[in-house]
Every structure is written in structure tokens, then in C-alpha cells.
Structure 1
Amino acid sequence: MVVLLIGTVAMLYPLLWVVTIALKGNNDIFTTTPQWFPKEFHFENFVEGTKQIHFWLTFKNSMIITVISTVGQVASSIVVGYGLSRLRFPGRKLWFSSFIGSMMLPGFVGLVPVFYLFSQLGWYNTWLPLIVPSYLGNPAFTFLFIQFLSTIPKSFDEAAKMDGAGDTQILWRILVPMSLPVVVTMIIFAFNGSWNQYLEPLIYLVDQNKWTLSVALASFASNWSTQWNYFMAADLLYMMPLLIIFFFGQKYFMQGLGSVNSAGLK
């Protein structure tokens, strides 16, 4: 219990410190005796923080990219997972091993060739390099969905086929609703990963009007004259979509992580 309490405090400490800085005046931040609670609450920091950068424009950009990418990652991973788990075809286990094995490769390994490919396609300074790869399936999500499908008896598939249902109907009308906990888990992880994406937008996006919020915040913080109370206030607003989606999906998120067993491909 004590260890759990210490771990909780250690994890919450940075967030509490961000909230404290966001509510302080600029003169109250750098003092010889740091104070947890500000003398006065400066809620106007949240308004001023959004003015320092193109906050709402980049917020909109990030939201568009994140929603489209999340849909792509989850949908493609579900389709690939269903094919590898339920369908029988030559080389299925080899494809499974190769696809899952790609998780072992660090992301930066393909950074240069992928950049060259997208540049040759004319995608530089567009959102396409941030969105299109999401529709090629996510190995981790695919593995997660396969593991969950292993807990669902194939008798459901067979009964649906006897009623005339095809693979598409079986997947989207029967298996996906039954797999809601793991699907929500995938949505939360995909949303979080796409929203926090920084390196790819930094590399591909030159036009500031196309920037994502993560890049805009980084440019704000890199300014030598950064007003940290404004920055922390903007940072809190940046975290709000992540907190909201986890708040509404936490029930299914816990069920999804707890229901996946250790069974392999059968």
C-alpha cells in the first residue's frame, strides 16, 4: 500500500506542478522559496497562452489528423487481425510472424527511406505522411485484437455463416461489438499516439498553418523569452482531449487489458 501511494505521488507530482505554474503570475514562478499554491490565481494565463501561438488553428489541425489516423489504425488493424485469426490461407503463420516481428524494429530505422519515398510522391509539407501509414495496420493493435478473438468461440462465426452472413458481416456485426473493450483500448492508444506525435510533423510540415499542436508548443517553449505560466496553461489545454477520451473509455479500457489472454495464433 505504501509503495502504491509513493508511486501515485511520484506520477502526479509533475502534473500538479504544471497546474501550479499555469495559475501563477510570471513573477511568482522563479522565486528563492517555491510555493505550491499561488498567491493569486491567474486564470487569464489560459487565454494568453492560446494567443502566444496559433493555438486553435494547430489544435484543429491536430484533431483532424488524429481522428482520421485513429480510425485508420483501428479499422485496418481489426481487418488484418480478423484475417490472420479466422481465415485460413497458405503462409498465414509466416505472415503473422513477419507482421508481429516488425514491432521489434525501432521506428527510426525506416525514417530516411520513408522520408525519401514520401518526398518522391510529392507528400512533403502535407498531412498525408501523418495519415496514410495509419491505414496499413498497426502490429501491436493487430496482435491485441487477435489475442482477444482467441477468447471468442468460432461457433459464433459458424452460426452466422449458416444464416447467410459473409466475412464482412461476421466481423463488423458480430465480432467487433463483442470485442468492444479491446476496440476502445485500441482507440485510446491510437488517439494518444497520434495526438502526441511530434517527430513526423516536425520533419514533414514546413508551413506553420499546417503545424500540429505538439510542434507549435515546442516552438513556444524553445523561445528564449518563454513565459512559462502561459506555456503551462497551453500545455494543460493540450492534454484535455487525452483526459476526456480516457475518462469516457476507462471502463472498457480496463476490461480490454484484463481480458486478453496469452494464447497465440491457432
Structure 2
Amino acid sequence: MSGANLAAGSPSTRRVGQIIRFAFLLILSVSMIYPVLWMITIALEGSGGMFKVPPEWFPHEFHFNNFVNGAKEIDLGRVFLNSLAISVTVTIGQVISSLFIGYGIARIPFPGRKLWFYFFIGSMMLPSIVSLIPVFYVFAKIGLFNTWWPILIPAFFGNPFFIFLCRQFYSAIPYSYDEAAKIDGANHFQIMTRVIVPASIPLVVTMIILSFQGSWNEYLQPLVYLQDQKKWPLSVAVASFSGSYGTTWNHFMAVNLLYMLPLLILFFAAQKYFMQGLGSLNNSGLK
């Protein structure tokens, strides 16, 4: 073995590499945590806390009434329930439809199966903004403008990314499971619901988290389709947060913290399955 190879594998070289990686991850973590900590500080500060230079990280007095006042300004209870109803419905629609479509492409031979798969892959590359105007025109023509239907209906036709994940995951499950179930008299629906899906719980949880997060944070579609402010979800209400004399920033930051809370709860509650889902996708040949 050459001296260069010995040097490359020496303990001191590995230690330097570990220090560099640790420093990089530390800087990356701080850059992500800093805005959240600053938001928490402003949410607990008085009205002038945002403009202090340098920032005051520990307020002398905690103004918890910022959360109450901010919630009143956007009618938090109503817009929260709107967001919850939309996000839960979209999540159910996207996950169930993607499971069925992914199963069909992965486990049921039919003419043009690969073509359909490539079609879904190609649609992932198409920005949603491209189809916004024609889709808006269709929904407006059939009288669904200013309703939730233009947001909810597309969810039940599958999510291209989720279909791709399902196809990759299902393709890695041995076909012997299907054959054994068919011997017992199971049809495709029973095979999917009783064999494939129970073996894919981490994948399902991963899709639920990603779908709920995407729907909860969706801003453009509700803004385009919903004129009635009583139908607005939380994302649009928060983005439109402004008083008669400008934005009250401590109230605004307090509302944003409340806006983040359901996503944090969902992630930490399902973190175990989410990480298993990512790991199983990696092992299933996702390339």
C-alpha cells in the first residue's frame, strides 16, 4: 500500500474530515433554526421588538396576548377549520387515488403500462402554473368558481410524485405475495388492501405527511379560486395579514407560529414511520 493511501486513511485525516462535516452541518442547522428563533422572539415581544438592533433574543416581558390579538385579526377559528377541512380531504384523495394508480401500474400487466408511467413522470416536470388558466376556465364555466371544489377535485386523480413512489415501492414487493393471495381466491382489490398496503405503511404515512403539508401550505389555488374571505384557508389569511395602518409584526409572527403548529405536531407524531418510509424507498430501488 502506498504512502498516499496510508495518509488518506490515517486517523488524523479522518478526524479532520469529521470536523469539517460537523462544522458544515452545524452552520446549516443554525441557518435553518435562526429564522424560527427570531420569529418566536418577535411573537413574544412588544410592538417595537422587531426593529431593535441588535435583536433582543430574550424579551424582558412576554406578551402572550399577541397570539390572542393575532388570532382575532384573521378570525383564526374559522380559517383554521377551513384549512383543516381542505387539507384532510386533499390528503385522503391524493393518497388513496395514488395507491390505486400506483398498484395498477406496478402489479397489473396491461398494454401501454410503461407509457402511462412515463406520462406521470413527465407531468412531474410540468409546473402547475402552466395549467392554472385553462383549469380555472373549465371550473369557472361549470359554475364551481368561489368554491372549494377546484381545490378538492384534482386530488382524487392522483399525485404524479406519489404515483411514482408507489410504483417504485410496489415493484420491490415479491410477486409471490400476489400469487399466494390469488390461490386463496383474492382479487386485485383484496390483494392491494390486504397484502400490499399493509406492507407499505411507512410509504403511506410518508405520503400523508407530504400531502397534508403541501395542502396546508398551498396558497396560489385558494387565492385564485376563492373570492369569499369566509372560505379562505389559513395560508391565504396569514398572507393577507394587515391592519388599517400596516402590519403589526408581533401579531403577524404569533399567527405564523400557530400556523406552523399542526405541521410540527403531525411530523413529530409520525416521525418514526416517516423515516422508515424514506429508508424503505431507498431500499426499493428508487433511482
TM-score (norm 1): 0.96
- In the alignment, structure 1 residue 158 sits paired with structure 2 residue 179: yes
- In the alignment, structure 1 residue 50 sits paired with structure 2 residue 71: yes
* 1:24 alignment partner AA: E
Distance in 2, Cα, partners of 1:247 & 1:192? 13
Partner of 1:204: 225
Q: Specify the SS of the correspondent of 1:254.
A: helix
Distance in 2, Cα, partners of 1:153 & 1:99? 24
Residues paired across the two proteins, number: 265
Q: Which moved more, 1:223-232 or 1:165-174?
A: 223-232
1:254: how far off?
Answer: 0.9
Partner of 2:28: 7
- In the alignment, structure 1 residue 228 sits paired with structure 2 residue 254: no
Distance in 2, Cα, partners of 1:63 & 1:28? 32
Task: Determine which of 90, 101, 121 is the counterpart of 1:69.
Answer: 90
Partner of 1:126: 147
Distance in 1, Cα, partners of 2:156 & 2:192? 18
1:150: how far off?
Answer: 2.0
Distance in 2, Cα, partners of 1:40 & 1:235? 20
Distance in 1, Cα, partners of 2:94 & 2:115? 22
1:69-218 alignment runs, 5 A limit = 69-218=90-239
Q: Is the 8 A contact 2:107 2:171 kept in 1?
A: no
* 1:8 alignment partner AA: S
Task: Determine which of 27, 30, 47 is the counterpart of 2:51.
Answer: 30
Partner of 2:39: 18
- Structure 1 runs, 4 residues or longer, greater than 3 Å off: 221-224, 261-265
Could you give the per-residue CA deviations for residues 88-116 of structure 1, whole angstroms, max 9, x where no partner exists?
11111111111221111111111110110
Q: Which runs of 5+ in 2 are unaligned?
A: 1-21
Distance in 2, Cα, partners of 1:134 & 1:54? 27
- In the alignment, structure 1 residue 41 sits paired with structure 2 residue 48: no
* 2:112 alignment partner AA: G
Could you give the per-residue CA deviations for residues 20-40 of structure 1, whole angstroms, max 9, x where no partner exists?
110101133322432111111
- Closer, same or farther: CA 32–3 of 1 in aligned 2, 3 Å: closer
Q: Specify the SS of the correspondent of 2:270.
A: helix
Distance in 2, Cα, partners of 1:264 & 1:188? 19
- In the alignment, structure 1 residue 244 sits paired with structure 2 residue 253: no
* 1:21 alignment partner AA: I
Distance in 1, Cα, partners of 2:26 & 2:256? 26
Q: Specify the SS of the correspondent of 1:179.
A: helix
CA RMSD, aligned part only?
A: 1.5
Identity of aligned residues (%): 59
1:263: how far off?
Answer: 3.8
Q: Structure with the greater relative contact order (CA < 8 A, sep ≥ 6): 1 or 2?
A: 1
Q: Specify the SS of the correspondent of 2:172.
A: coil
Distance in 1, Cα, partners of 2:241 & 2:249? 10
TM-score (norm 2): 0.89
Q: Specify the SS of the correspondent of 1:34.
A: coil
Q: Specify the SS of the correspondent of 1:220.
A: coil
1:223: how far off?
Answer: 6.2
* 1:172 alignment partner AA: T
- Closer, same or farther: CA 223–157 of 1 in aligned 2, 3 Å: farther
